[in-house]
Structure 1
Amino acid sequence: MKKTALIFVLMSVLTACTKDITKLNINPKQPSKVPSYSLFTESERVLDSSLCSANENLNIFRLIEQQWTETTYLNETNYQITYRKQPDAIWSEFYTGILINLEKAKSLMVTDVTDAGTRKNETAIADILEVYSYFYLVTTFGNIPYSQALNINNPFPAYDDQKTVYYALLTRLDTDIAALDASAGSYGSADIVYGGSPASWIKFANTFKLKMGIIIADYDNVKAKATVEAAYNAGVFTSNSDNAIFQFLTTPPNTNPIWVDLVQGGRHDYVGTSGFINLMNPNSATQDPRLSYYFAPSIANGVYVGADNGSGNGGIVYSQFSLPSGPLLTPGSIGTLTNPDFPGDMLDYSETAFYLAEAAARGYSVGGTAETYYNAAITASIMYWTGSTTGVSDYLLLPNVAFATATGGTDLQKIAQQAYIAFYNRGWDAWIESRRLNYPVLLPPPNAVSAFPLRFTYPINEQNVNVVNYNKASSAIGGDAVTTKLFFDVH
């Protein structure tokens, strides 16, 4: 069966003349049966779009992480996460837009895919994306529906313990890795990320296992060490060529969500914060090579300048500050953040090298030193964004960047500082990092409605509909508040 990348309409239009009037009851644009591979493609698209989104109703993590701030409406900057019901949007997007489709794809493969090796690979890859999706739910909310989730016959699923879910995901990941066969077939072009390469998905799964392992290092060092070392020995990302990238298209509806939210939506009320831009541009002699790829110079004066976090609400004009953008055309770079085809990034080598640097700093056996991996991580991030190594050597020698002298009192803080910069456009992951490592220190804006959010509260719909299980989950984690720490956040 020939598979093409984005196939969402699978039935041809009925001819105008027909004697069988019952066919008029069939909507050709809403097929009653969808192939498994198209559900997989759609799941990849929705997942990447959710992680990359700049929509104030869904993904506000760049604002929470103070990479951006708002100039007009400060609800999200001030941590008002229920004002636009972001928890409800995340919950719905992941459970009904991603996980349900992946689960349905796996069930349809039984009849869709005749080759046993291909079916086994496709099932394992779909399950890896389920693990990946649940990871973001459990690290955002804590206890979540898991063992009873995705069952349409059970509209009121119980919530599972967050640690239990997390460890179960690690077990599933191991099972999926063992099931993958690099010599067998897979999704082909229906897989936008890796073109159906089982070998690439094996490396992705091992790298994600490394990530999951390091995140629990302060909670369960024994488990973390064993997980990280096993993943490293099995083979993780070693260069940017391994990156898990979703390539958006230049035409709707499969465009870069940042373009949709900011350009197509005509929004100019997100600007860089002074804290983030000053970190990258303390003075003209030490400018981070990525700065011009993260932001555009201010319209008013042509320099890079950020607004103080939370200083908007009519008090500042966006043209005075740097908007999210980048160079219009730089050969070898990934382009402009606000281009319709700017790619989404699920997992990359820079992130991997930072985790390996942390692992080395903790004494894990990962084949290198903290400094070596730290330098590799920064280099990979600069190369990913700019397409060049220009400026890398000079940047790594700066006193506030060089590992021996970098800002931060400990090795982990030095790593966290640079990872924070590299996680630009990965606000969700930056939030996970800053919570577990407590660095850099992000002070709430002057009019914040709460302390720095350590989790998202449960959706209002869950509070109103799945009341009994919501109450049990809230009690189990210590209260449904943004200040309730999740299990991996022990500091």
Structure 2
Amino acid sequence: MKKIFSIFTISSLVMLTSCINGDDDFNNNQSQPYQVPAEPLLTNAQKELMDQMETPSVNLNVFRFFQHYLATTIYRNDARFNFTGTRKVPDNMWLALYTDVLGNLNQAKKIIPSEVKPPQISQTVWDKQQANKMAILNLMEIYTYQVLVDSFGNVPYSEAAKPETFVLPKYDDAKTIYSDLINRLNSITATLDSGYPSFETGDNIYNGNVADWIIVANSLKLKIGINLADVNPTLAKQTVESAFAGGVMTENSENALFRYDSTSPNFNRVYAEVIASNRNDFVAEEGIVDVMNTLADPRRPFYFTTVNGNYVGGTVGLTNTYSDYSHIGPSLLAPNKPGVLFDASEVNFYLAEAAARGYNVGASAQQYYNDAITASMEQWGVTPASIATYLSNPAVTFSSVNWKQSIGQQAWIAMFNRGFESWNFYRRLDYPVLTAPNAVAAAAGKVPTRLTYPINEQTVNGTNWSQASTAIGGDKLTTKVFWDIN
């Protein structure tokens, strides 16, 4: 496995490369900009993105509280959806995605065109390789913007990640951004050519395998398309069917996994926040635990520990005694456990939903639903016999009448360690039914349907923030993103 780069800023990466030139006069020019290779920038962007999506840190990622996966033992504010206090969760997430992810990707995209062709490589191969590299960088960028739009609504896009030109970027309409992301994905799938190489180093997810990135591109297009199903059914159907025809992720062997290792600071972020930090901040939440107990779900030993032989959940928004409740299971706490950016279970649930909506995706909603559950269980090592028993449970059997409930509940269970993706399923399908009895007044007693904009945007980019807030119907936790119309 490749050595993963630590969390470097652009400036610190520059420092690492400042002495590589052999010319004695090279460092005499104090204004000479030093160029960081694209490969470590890609690695860093992938790690920063995966860290943000994976971490249970109450400073960065609170979606496990939204989805009743985890409850807290000490810090109640975040589990009650109070994000305007000292932690400023939206500010931290915004900064991580725009600066640490998009900033690195943008810098890498500037470097690719300036790379010099080695003499032993033909011009045709070089051009194809460079095009593949740019497509992968753009694909990572599109994934990040999808997360930003789905979290906040209207966000800086056309003027974003260009500090040299736009110091205070405007906010673009979320619906317009989504349409452009689809157009960019269409261009990417037409550009990526699996007959040629891409990154020889730096890609910690697929090691530069272009065929795998094509599958991710189509799967991301499927995800974006299915989010549009209620607000723009024509574009949704067209996008989903095009993605399916191009080839999407249906097997676990195709999963997009970021490979953490066992050394600081490159280990898995769940391990970092629970084991390495020696903290007892989290217990399993009763919402997910009780449902899985009722279904005798065989994933429980992988998700949770037991208390006197039982799986017991605490209550989100309350202070819970650590010893009284189940904890995060040891299977999730290995330091080198890969982070999941995309997996077959998620995609099969999208296909099940697409089929239930009448889209042409090659198989029935029930088949994809069963495949999604199976893929989830196989990831955790559940035996085939236990999977078959679970699928035969009448409470699990797919309902063509109440398909939103069937898919919503099972996707919720499968996405236990992927709170953000679970939140998207919940907002789109309105299942499972989740409550927030301990929520702060700003959440109006409900699970938030978006994150509020960063406080820093209000104070620094106030004019654009105000216009965006008005455009979306108010900068509130209860405002819905444009595709969440039910």
Q: What amino acid is aligned across from residue 38 of structure 2 in structure 1?
A: S
Q: Relative to 1, partners in 2 of residues 1:22 and 1:147: Cα closer, same or farther, differing over 3 Å?
A: closer
Where does residue 287 of structure 1 map in the other structure? Answer: 296
Shift of 1:23: 6.8
Mapped to 2, the partners of 1:5 and 1:388 lie a distance apart of 33
Mapped to 2, the partners of 1:376 and 1:14 lie a distance apart of 53
- 1:320 corresponds, among 324, 333, 354, to 324
Mapped to 1, the partners of 2:475 and 2:19 lie a distance apart of 52
Q: Relative to 1, partners in 2 of residues 1:386 and 1:445: Cα closer, same or farther, differing over 3 Å?
A: farther
Secondary structure, counterpart of 2:283 in structure 1: strand
1:109 aligns with 2:118: no
1:422 aligns with 2:398: no
1:433 aligns with 2:433: no
Q: What amino acid is aligned across from residue 126 of structure 1 in structure 2?
A: L
Q: TM-score, normalised by structure 2?
A: 0.90
- 1:471 corresponds, among 463, 466, 471, to 466
Q: Relative to 1, partners in 2 of residues 1:93 and 1:233: Cα closer, same or farther, differing over 3 Å?
A: same
After TM superposition, list the pairs within 5 Å mapping 1:223-242 onto structure 2. 223-242=235-254
Mapped to 2, the partners of 1:188 and 1:281 lie a distance apart of 46
- Structure 2: state its 5+ residue gaps: 118-125
Shift of 1:185: 1.1
Q: Relative to 1, partners in 2 of residues 1:113 and 1:280: Cα closer, same or farther, differing over 3 Å?
A: farther
Where does residue 161 of structure 2 map in the other structure? Answer: 150
Moved more, 172-181 or 131-140: 172-181
Shift of 1:12: 8.0
Secondary structure, counterpart of 1:75 in structure 2: helix
Moved more, 200-209 or 444-453: 444-453
Q: TM-score, normalised by structure 1?
A: 0.90
Mapped to 2, the partners of 1:480 and 1:415 lie a distance apart of 30
Where does residue 456 of structure 1 map in the other structure? Answer: 451
- 2:476 corresponds, among 468, 481, 486, to 481
Where does residue 316 of structure 2 map in the other structure? Answer: 309
Mapped to 2, the partners of 1:388 and 1:270 lie a distance apart of 28
Where does residue 49 of structure 1 map in the other structure? Answer: 51
After TM superposition, list the pairs within 5 Å mapping 1:35-434 onto structure 2. 35-83=37-85, 84-112=87-115, 114=117, 115-153=126-164, 154-282=166-294, 286-298=295-307, 301-312=308-319, 316-326=320-330, 336-386=331-381, 388-404=383-399, 410-434=402-426
Secondary structure, counterpart of 2:468 in structure 1: helix
Secondary structure, counterpart of 1:307 in structure 2: coil
Q: Relative to 1, partners in 2 of residues 1:434 and 1:447: Cα closer, same or farther, differing over 3 Å?
A: closer
Shift of 1:287: 2.0
- Mapped contact 2:250–2:345 kept (Cα < 8 A): no
Mapped to 2, the partners of 1:355 and 1:295 lie a distance apart of 26
Mapped to 2, the partners of 1:388 and 1:351 lie a distance apart of 20
Q: What amino acid is aligned across from residue 382 of structure 1 in structure 2?
A: M
Mapped to 1, the partners of 2:135 and 2:163 lie a distance apart of 22
- Mapped contact 1:4–1:190 kept (Cα < 8 A): no
Moved more, 444-453 or 217-226: 444-453
Mapped to 1, the partners of 2:408 and 2:173 lie a distance apart of 28
Secondary structure, counterpart of 1:146 in structure 2: coil
Where does residue 332 of structure 1 map in the other structure? Answer: none
Shift of 1:82: 1.9
Secondary structure, counterpart of 2:458 in structure 1: helix
Shift of 1:188: 2.6
- What CA RMSD, in Å, does the superposition of the two structures yield over aligned residues? 2.3
- Mapped contact 2:17–2:34 kept (Cα < 8 A): no
Mapped to 2, the partners of 1:25 and 1:71 lie a distance apart of 55
Shift of 1:310: 2.6
Q: Relative to 1, partners in 2 of residues 1:25 and 1:448: Cα closer, same or farther, differing over 3 Å?
A: same
Q: What amino acid is aligned across from residue 261 of structure 1 in structure 2?
A: E
Secondary structure, counterpart of 1:145 in structure 2: coil
Q: Relative to 1, partners in 2 of residues 1:41 and 1:444: Cα closer, same or farther, differing over 3 Å?
A: same
- Mapped contact 2:349–2:372 kept (Cα < 8 A): yes
Shift of 1:463: 0.3
Q: Identity over the aligned pairs, expressed in percent?
A: 42
Shift of 1:311: 3.1
Q: What amino acid is aligned across from residue 95 of structure 2 in structure 1?
A: S
Secondary structure, counterpart of 1:302 in structure 2: coil
- Mapped contact 1:361–1:370 kept (Cα < 8 A): yes
Q: Relative to 1, partners in 2 of residues 1:39 and 1:22: Cα closer, same or farther, differing over 3 Å?
A: closer
Shift of 1:324: 0.7
Q: What amino acid is aligned across from residue 444 of structure 1 in structure 2?
A: A
Mapped to 2, the partners of 1:386 and 1:205 lie a distance apart of 27
- Mapped contact 1:64–1:76 kept (Cα < 8 A): no
Secondary structure, counterpart of 1:69 in structure 2: strand
- Mapped contact 1:255–1:340 kept (Cα < 8 A): yes
- Structure 1: state its 5+ residue gaps: 327-335
Where does residue 122 of structure 2 map in the other structure? Answer: none
Q: Relative to 1, partners in 2 of residues 1:33 and 1:383: Cα closer, same or farther, differing over 3 Å?
A: same
Mapped to 2, the partners of 1:416 and 1:368 lie a distance apart of 19
Q: Relative to 1, partners in 2 of residues 1:12 and 1:273: Cα closer, same or farther, differing over 3 Å?
A: closer
Q: What amino acid is aligned across from residue 322 of structure 1 in structure 2?
A: S
Mapped to 1, the partners of 2:185 and 2:111 lie a distance apart of 21
Shift of 1:261: 1.0
Mapped to 2, the partners of 1:277 and 1:151 lie a distance apart of 45
Mapped to 1, the partners of 2:337 and 2:288 lie a distance apart of 22
- Mapped contact 1:278–1:306 kept (Cα < 8 A): yes
Shift of 1:25: 11
Shift of 1:111: 1.9
Shift of 1:6: 3.7
Secondary structure, counterpart of 2:77 in structure 1: coil
Where does residue 121 of structure 2 map in the other structure? Answer: none
